[in-house]
Amino acid sequence: MGGRTPTNPMLSGAGGGPMNNAAASNQLMNLMPSLLAASAANMGAAGRYGHDGGHHGGGPPHSMGRNGGGGGHPHEMIAHHSVERDMYGGGDDRTCVLMVYGLESDKWNPLLVFNLICQYGNVNKIFFMKNKESTAMVEMGDPDAADNVVKFVNEIDVFGTTVRFNHSKKHRRLTVTPLEFDLPNGSSSIKDFSRDKRMNRFIREDLARKNRLLKPTRVLHFYNVLRIPDEEFLEYFHEAGAPEPSNIKWADPKEGTRVTGSSGLLYFESGDDATDALVMMNHYKIGDRNIKLGYSPAKY
């Protein structure tokens, strides 16, 4: 059947007719650099504006600073990892498990360990070890949270002794629950916090961003309480046997906002007193609420 020989318009001669094989090959080679450049540009655009969770900015997702600028804030980075990775897995090869040494006081139990480290990331499980006195194992929600604990409270004085947090060299996750036993104070040696959304502070991204990652200070921030007279507030510290703050500063509510709770600052004579109070009073029941505490950057 007769007919016209098909031609590619990009490989035609100057007069519009078909080219011989040698000429077509030469022209194709000349066009290759521009074709490759166009392909790379398209791929780059897809990476920026395609399947990246709806991000349309010029920088990577979650790179916004606290005031909208670049250079992401470390707390936002923690929120990103804690919320978007589930609390049991993820592709990170780093460990989520910490070894805790120096828990010599009879006051210690899983809740008090949680009270100290919950300000650095979600906490899954805490086990005291029966065959190693004064030692516990902690599984954090993700490797970043474990890194935060080691970075900010690697060695810290609590109840008169130095407590150390180190990364586990043997475990990435705690997959086997050890035998439960009673600690000297009658508490259980085991506590699972992984499903407790009232206590873990990095469950949602908006909550995670409210946390400040700090080394120990002499000032504690408190919230989730109703305002009461200072004398009554101090009675709770006395009741718990915790160091009492030398000064209490309540935050004034913002004008026009509905008051659902109060917050403020607690000033202590020393960093050790502030830490002991945080460990003992964090999540302590005051009225019908459980107070929440964390280190504050406020000046003494």
| Least trusted range by pLDDT, from 51-55, 83-87, 209-213, 254-258 | 51-55
What pLDDT was estimated at residue 59? Answer: 33
Q: Would you list the DSSP string of 62-117?
A: T---TTS-SS--HHHHHHHHHHHS-TT--S--S--EEEEE---STT--HHHHHHHH
User: Are the CB atoms for 107 and 280 separated by under 8 Å?
Assistant: yes
Q: Kindly tell me if the per-residue pLDDT of 21 is higher than 80.
A: no
User: Are the CB atoms for 148 and 70 separated by under 8 Å?
Assistant: no
pLDDT band at residue 215 under the 50/70/90 scheme: very high
Considering only residues 18 and 209, tell me which one the structure prediction assigns the higher pLDDT: 209
pTM of the model: 0.70
What pLDDT was estimated at residue 30? Answer: 55
Q: In whole angstroms, what is the distance from residue 33 CA to residue 235 CA? A: 78
Q: What are the C-alpha distances in Å from 81 to residues 17, 54, 157, 234, 293?
A: 60, 18, 29, 37, 23
| Alpha helix ranges (H) inside 173-255 | 205-208, 230-240
User: Are the CB atoms for 193 and 126 separated by under 8 Å?
Assistant: yes
pLDDT band at residue 95 under the 50/70/90 scheme: very high
Q: Kindly tell me if the per-residue pLDDT of 191 is higher than 70.
A: yes
| Least trusted range by pLDDT, from 75-84, 155-164, 255-264, 283-292 | 75-84
Could you read off the pLDDT of 125-150 as tens digits, one per residue? 999 999 999 999 999 999 999 999 99
What pLDDT was estimated at residue 20? Answer: 52
What pLDDT was estimated at residue 208? Answer: 86
What is the overall mean pLDDT for the chain?
78
Q: Kindly tell me if the per-residue pLDDT of 108 is higher than 80.
A: yes
What pLDDT was estimated at residue 174? Answer: 83
Q: Kindly tell me if the per-residue pLDDT of 75 is higher than 80.
A: no
Considering only residues 202 and 204, tell me which one the structure prediction assigns the higher pLDDT: 202
Considering only residues 101 and 205, tell me which one the structure prediction assigns the higher pLDDT: 101
The enclosing H or E element of 161 equals strand 161-167
Q: What's the rounded mean pLDDT across residues 253-277?
A: 90
By percentage, how much of the chain surpasses pLDDT 90? Answer: 56
What pLDDT was estimated at residue 27? Answer: 53
Considering only residues 281 and 77, tell me which one the structure prediction assigns the higher pLDDT: 281
Residue 162 identity (one-letter amino acid): T
Considering only residues 93 and 40, tell me which one the structure prediction assigns the higher pLDDT: 93
Q: Dihedral (C-alpha) 188, 193, 196, 202: value to the nearest 10 degrees?
A: 150
Q: In whole angstroms, what is the distance from residue 143 CA to residue 149 CA? A: 10
By percentage, how much of the chain surpasses pLDDT 70? Answer: 69
Q: In whole angstroms, what is the distance from residue 242 CA to residue 167 CA? A: 29
Q: In whole angstroms, what is the distance from residue 159 CA to residue 153 CA? A: 15
Q: What's the rounded mean pLDDT across residues 67-79?
A: 36
Q: Kindly tell me if the per-residue pLDDT of 103 is higher than 80.
A: yes
What pLDDT was estimated at residue 288? Answer: 93
pLDDT band at residue 176 under the 50/70/90 scheme: confident
